[in-house]
Amino acid sequence: MTMKNAHHPAFTAIRSEFIEALNVTVQEYEHKVTGAKHFHIASDNDENVFLVGLKTVPTDSTGVAHILEHTVLCGSERFPVRDPFFMMIRRSLNTFMNAFTSSDWTAYPFASKNKKDFRNLLDVYLDAVFFSRLDRLDFSQEGHRLEFAEPTNPDSELTFKGVVFNEMKGAMSSPTSVLWQALTKYLCPSNTYHFNSGGEPTDIPDLSYDDLMAFYRKHYHPSNAVFMTFGDIPADELQAEFESKVLSRFERLDDQVSVPNAKRYFSPVRVEEGYATDEAKEDGSHVVVGWLLGESIDLAQQFEAQLLSSVLLDNSASPLRRVLENSDLGSSPSPMCGLEDSNKEMSFMCGLEGVKRENAAQVEALVLKTLEDIAENGVDQEMVEAMLHQLELSQREIGGDSYPYGLQLILSALSTAVHQGDVIAQLDLDPVIESMREKVLHKDYIPTLVRDLLLSNAHRVTLTLSPDEALEARRNQAEKDRLSKIKAGLSEEQKQHIVERSQALKARQEQVDDMSILPKVGLDDVPARLPEYENEQVTQSLPITFYPQGTNGLVYQQLVTELPALTEQETQHLPLYCYLVTELGVGEQDYLAIQSRQAQVCGGLGASSSIRPVLIDKQRVNGYFVLSSKALVPNAQAMTELMAQTFNDVRFDETGRIKELIAQRRARRERSITGQGHSLAMSAASSGMSGLSAQQEAWGGMSGIREVIALDDALKADPNAMTALCATLESIHGKLAGAAKQVLLVAEPHHKDALLEAITPAWQNVANHEQVSHFSLPAIDKNIKQAWVTATQVSFCAKAFKSVSGEHPDVPVLTVLGGFLRNGFLHRAIREQGGAYGGGATFDASCGAFRFYSYRDPRLLETLADFDASIEWLLSTEHAYDALEEAILGVIGSMDKPSSPAGEAQSDFFQQLHNRTQAYREAFRAGVLAVTVDDLKRVAKLYLTKENESTAVVTATSNKAMLEEAGFEICTL
Summarize pLDDT for 178-199 with one digit per residue, the tens.
999 999 999 999 999 999 999 9
Dump the DSSP string for 291-341.
EEEEETT-HHHHHHHHHHHHHHHSSTTSHHHHHHHH-TTSSEE-TT-EEE-
Give, in order, the Cα–Cα distances in Å from 813 to each of 540, 817, 867, 873, 928. 43, 6, 18, 17, 6
For the cut 50, the answer to whether the pLDDT of residue 2 exceeds it is no
Chain segment 296-319, per-residue pLDDT in tens: 988 889 999 999 999 999 999 999
Q: What is the structure's pLDDT at 515? A: 84
Residue 744 exposure: Cα atoms within 13 Å on the Cβ side: 24
Rg from Cα positions in the chain: 28
Q: What is the structure's pLDDT at 827? A: 95
Q: Please, are residues 942 and 777 in contact by the beta-carbon 8 Å criterion? A: no
Give, in order, the Cα–Cα distances in Å from 536 to each of 548, 744, 898. 9, 10, 22
**Number of Cβ atoms within 10 Å of the Cβ of 719:** 9
> Cα(331)–Cα(756) distance, rounded to whole angstroms?
44
Average pLDDT over all residues of the chain: 95
> Cα(114)–Cα(94) distance, rounded to whole angstroms?
8
- Identify the band that residue 1 occupies on the pLDDT scale cut at 50, 70 and 90: very low
Mean pLDDT of 874-896: 94
Q: What is the structure's pLDDT at 5? A: 66
Chain segment 584-602, per-residue pLDDT in tens: 999 999 999 999 999 999 9
The share of the chain scoring above pLDDT 90, in percent, equals: 90
Domains of the chain: 11-258+496-517 (3.30.830.10), 269-402+415-468 (3.30.830.10), 785-971 (3.30.830.10)
> Cα(48)–Cα(134) distance, rounded to whole angstroms?
29
Sequence-ordered alpha helix ranges (H) in 51-96: 64-72, 84-90
Q: What is the pTM of this model?
A: 0.93
Chain segment 810-868, per-residue pLDDT in tens: 999 999 999 999 999 999 999 999 999 999 999 999 999 999 999 999 999 999 999 99
Q: What is the structure's pLDDT at 3? A: 41
499-503: Cβ within 8 A, 24+ apart: 499/148, 499/151, 499/152, 499/154, 501/137, 501/140, 501/145, 502/145, 502/147, 502/148, 502/151, 502/152, 503/151, 503/152
Amino acid at site 62? T
Chain segment 940-963, per-residue pLDDT in tens: 999 999 999 999 999 999 999 999
Chain segment 118-172, per-residue pLDDT in tens: 999 999 999 999 999 999 999 999 999 999 999 999 999 999 999 999 999 999 9
> Cα(450)–Cα(445) distance, rounded to whole angstroms?
9
Mean pLDDT of 714-737: 95
- Taking the C-alpha atoms of 315, 316, 321 and 326 in order, what is their torsion angle to the nearest 10 degrees? 170
Q: What is the structure's pLDDT at 21? A: 86
CA-nearest of 82, 86, 87, 99 to 134 is: 82
Instruction: Specify the range with the lowest mean pLDDT, choosing from 218-222, 228-232, 427-431, 918-922.
Output: 427-431
> Cα(750)–Cα(23) distance, rounded to whole angstroms?
17
For the cut 70, the answer to whether the pLDDT of residue 543 exceeds it is yes
Helix (H, G, I), strand (E, B) or coil at 11: strand
> Cα(617)–Cα(213) distance, rounded to whole angstroms?
57
Instruction: Specify the range with the lowest mean pLDDT, choosing from 39-53, 273-287, 761-775, 778-792.
Output: 761-775
Chain segment 484-535, per-residue pLDDT in tens: 999 999 999 999 999 999 999 999 998 888 888 999 998 888 887 888 999 9
- Identify the band that residue 4 occupies on the pLDDT scale cut at 50, 70 and 90: low
